[in-house]
Amino acid sequence: MTNTPSADPARVGSGLRIGVLALQGDFREHLRAAEATGAQGVAVRRPEELDGLDGLIIPGGESTTIDKLARAFDLADPLRKYIAEGLPVYGSCAGMILLASDIADPATDLSGAPQQTFGGLDITVRRNAFGRQRESFETDLDFKGLDFSATESGVEPVHAVFIRGPWVERVGPDVEVLAQVEPADPGQASHAVPLPGAARIVAVRSGQLLATSFHPEVTGEKRVHELFIRMIRGEA
């Protein structure tokens, strides 16, 4: 793994090989986001393509489909092994579900067996928590850990797009909450699902693992991917 400090913030990923799990979902957008940092993007579909990576991104999509395909392509067990051994991983939306240790409402197959995850993050997630596709929404979030992007006016909020996004219902003692969607004023709600009385956790970090409920790759928000790169380099 490369841990040389990044001299040029615009090329913070230079010299790194960042894999994107390319079984299903918006992996192409994540490849472009990784390459925009100066990293080499690697589409991962086979176990041997995990070798030599500095980090891995698990994209948004259908968590159940990615789970099934990972097992069909003999990727699930190697992924669990790499994650357990400390490979830095960023999971976005479905990727957050697949990194979770527990799912509050797992899908089941025809035999009644619940979907599986790769694990690593001591969290419980709820799938499609903000509603279905037609209830997708956008909002601005205060996001911890982005001090590297501060200007004279401070750190700008992250503009987040939620598309059938999960939220986190439980975090373990070693998990840091990075961002939450606050309860909405009924007269000024930016999202379809009422959130009475409680903020909803939508971004977390634990060690070398990062996860968000939302899709920074679809809005041109580069700082979440840059945070992940800086985590790999030991700069965040």
Contact residues for 87 (Cβ-Cβ < 8 A; gap 6+): 50, 53, 55, 56, 208
Query: Choosing from 169, 217, 221, 226, which is the catalytic residue?
Result: 217
11 band by pLDDT with thresholds 50, 70 and 90? confident
Residue 178 confidence (pLDDT) above 50: yes
171 band by pLDDT with thresholds 50, 70 and 90? very high
Query: Choosing from 30, 191, 215, 225, which is the catalytic residue?
Result: 215
| 135 noted as active-site residue | no
Say if CB 24 and CB 66 are below 8 A apart: yes
Give me the helices (H) in the chain, please. Answer: 27-36, 63-72, 76-84, 94-99, 223-233
Residue 8: predicted pLDDT: 58
Give the model confidence (pLDDT) of 67-110 as tens digits: 999 999 999 999 999 999 999 999 999 999 999 999 998 988 88
Query: Choosing from 93, 169, 221, 226, which is the catalytic residue?
Result: 93
| 217 noted as active-site residue | yes
Where does residue 2 rank: exposed (0-12), middle (13-18), buried (19+ CB within 10 A)? middle
Please, what is the Cα angle at 136 between 133 and 141, to 5 degrees? 150
| 152 noted as active-site residue | no
Classify strands 176-181 and 55-58 as parallel, antiparallel or unpaired.
unpaired
